[in-house]
């Protein structure tokens, strides 16, 4: 039998009117009563009529802010926008607005200015991809004090007062990369790790996990040459060319940056045979896998990250349902030329 509002009211020990106020997110319901009613709805697997609920909620506007860096990759940008589009489509009848705001990659001051602007313009929750630094942590503290929910996505700021994190388990992905690399490296042989830099928690997590796993498998950190190339093609090209010229035995490169084409072009220009392990599965990476220029890549579902972050924020703001987990991790599949 399908659950009804009357059944919920009886089991929760409240009036039908109270259930209606909880269902439609109306005021004048004590927090403990609201929580009890929501729990009963879950237990009875109550699913309200979508259009009826939408119309009931349409009088209450919801405003979410989606703040992101200016992705260097068209693929990343497109996948993130696809997740936002999916959320907007599913919630098109719920009077919810998503403001996408983009700052220059690495510009923390502009990122924080966008957060302030969004809040000033009425944002009730913020999905944020930003560097892990004291300034951003302080801003999350400020939002929490204002009772404005914030969820991080793509790159976490662990331990900060955010609602949750949605994105790759970066350290685990790095450990997977280390497990793969260990199959091709010999003790004492040099290898190159190229990534954007330690300020971006997602890249740092991958790098830390990679080195951690290699060390567990008997490969020394001191044999690792590290290059910070900031997702920039030219910086990556120069760093790889220099590493190849100075390390004649270098045969393995782990690319944590988006500028994998810069790495491949540098290897080709040097006329060397080098194994390359990358991340993500955009068009450039897939092409390089097919060409044999990249051996493996570790994928991730980017559109899931943007969609899930907004979905969880909406539930917190409109339905007063907090996430069940601290972190939501999509799968990190290992891909090669035969599996893309």
pLDDT tens column, 48-75: 665 556 655 556 789 999 999 999 888 9
* 275 DSSP 8-state letter: E
**Token pair belonging to 27:** 């005021």
Residue 1 has pLDDT above 70, yes or no: no
Rg of the Cα trace of the chain? 24
* Residue limits of CATH 3.40.50.2300 in the chain: 62-167+302-317, 170-298
Percent of the chain with pLDDT strictly greater than 90: 74
Q: Say which range, 26-35, 191-200, 223-232, 312-321, has the weakest mean pLDDT.
A: 26-35
Q: Binning pLDDT at 50, 70 and 90, where does residue 306 land?
A: very high
The arithmetic mean of pLDDT across residues 146-172, rounded, is 96
3-state helix, strand, coil in the chain (%, to 5): 50, 15, 35
Q: So what CATH class is 170-298? A: alpha beta
* Residue limits of CATH 1.10.260.40 in the chain: 5-48
Q: Give the number of C-alpha atoms closer than 13 A to the C-alpha of residue 118, restricted to the C-beta side.
A: 31
pLDDT number for residue 167: 97
Q: Say which range, 199-208, 249-258, 327-336, has the weakest mean pLDDT.
A: 199-208
Beta carbons of 164 and 311 less than 8 angstroms apart: no
Cβ neighbours around 142 below 10 Å, total? 16
Q: Binning pLDDT at 50, 70 and 90, where does residue 199 land?
A: confident
Which residues on neighbouring strands pair with residue 65, listed in sequence order? 99, 126
Taking only the tens place, the pLDDT of each residue in 38-50 is 888 888 878 766 5
pLDDT number for residue 97: 94
pLDDT number for residue 53: 60
Report helix, strand or coil for 311. Answer: helix
208-225 burial string, b = 16+ CB within 10 Å, else e?
bbbbebbeeeebeeebbb
Question: Which residue blocks in the chain are alpha helix, DSSP H?
Answer: 5-12, 16-23, 31-43, 50-57, 74-90, 108-120, 134-145, 170-182, 201-216, 233-246, 260-270, 283-291, 302-318
Report helix, strand or coil for 181. Answer: helix
pLDDT number for residue 24: 66
What Å distances lie between residue 173 and 179, 253, 334, CA to CA?
10, 16, 9
Whole-angstrom Cα distance, residue 163 to residue 316? 9
Q: Phi-psi category of 159—alpha, beta or left, where left has phi over 0 and alpha has psi -120 to 50?
A: left
**Token pair belonging to 314:** 């909406």
Q: So what CATH class is 5-48? A: mainly alpha
Q: Please say whether the dihedral angle defined by the alpha carbons of residues 152, 155, 159 and 164, taken in this order, is positive or negative.
A: positive
In sequence order, what are the residues at sequence separation of 6 or more whose Cβ sits closer than 8 angstroms to the Cβ of residue 177? Answer: 206, 209, 210, 213, 254, 277, 279, 298
In sequence order, what are the residues at sequence separation of 6 or more whose Cβ sits closer than 8 angstroms to the Cβ of residue 142? Answer: none
Whole-angstrom Cα distance, residue 47 to residue 54? 13
pLDDT number for residue 173: 96
The arithmetic mean of pLDDT across residues 314-337, rounded, is 93
CATH number of the domain located at residue range(s) 62-167+302-317 in this protein: 3.40.50.2300
């Amino acid at each position: 039998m399908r659950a009804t509002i009357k059944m919920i009211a009886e089991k929760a020990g409240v009036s039908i009117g109270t259930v209606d106020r909880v269902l439609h997110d109306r005021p004048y319901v004590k927090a403990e009563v609201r929580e009890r009613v929501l729990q009963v709805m879950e237990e009875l697997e109550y699913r309200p009529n979508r259009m009826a609920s939408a119309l009931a909620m349409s009088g209450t506007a919801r405003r979410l802010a989606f703040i992101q860096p200016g992705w260097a990759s068209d693929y990343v940008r497109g996948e993130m926008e696809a997740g936002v589009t999916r959320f907007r489509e599913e919630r098109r009848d719920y009077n919810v607005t998503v403001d996408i705001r983009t700052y220059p990659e690495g510009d923390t001051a502009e990122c924080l200015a966008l957060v302030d602007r969004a809040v000033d313009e009425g944002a009730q929750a913020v999905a944020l991809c930003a560097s892990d630094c004291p300034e951003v942590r302080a801003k999350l503290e400020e939002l929490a004090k204002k009772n404005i929910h914030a969820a991080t996505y793509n790159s976490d700021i662990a331990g900060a007062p955010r609602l949750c994190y949605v994105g790759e388990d970066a350290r685990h992905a790095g450990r997977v990369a280390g497990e793969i690399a260990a199959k091709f490296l010999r003790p004492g042989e040099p290898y190159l790790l190229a990534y954007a830099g330690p300020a971006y928690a997602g890249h740092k997590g991958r790098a830390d996990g990679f080195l951690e796993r290699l060390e567990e498998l008997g490969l020394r950190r001191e044999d690792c040459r590290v290059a910070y190339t900031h997702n920039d093609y030219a910086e990556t090209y120069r760093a790889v060319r220099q590493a190849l010229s100075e390390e004649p035995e270098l045969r393995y490169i782990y690319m944590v940056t988006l500028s994998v084409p810069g790495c491949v072009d540098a290897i080709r220009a040097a006329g060397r045979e080098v194994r390359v392990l990358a991340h993500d599965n955009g068009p450039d990476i897939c092409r390089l896998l097919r060409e044999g220029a990249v051996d493996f890549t570790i994928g991730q579902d980017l559109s899931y990250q943007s969609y899930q972050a907004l979905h969880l924020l909406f539930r917190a703001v409109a339905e007063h349902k907090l996430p069940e987990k601290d972190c939501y991790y999509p799968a990190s599949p290992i891909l090669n030329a035969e599996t893309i």
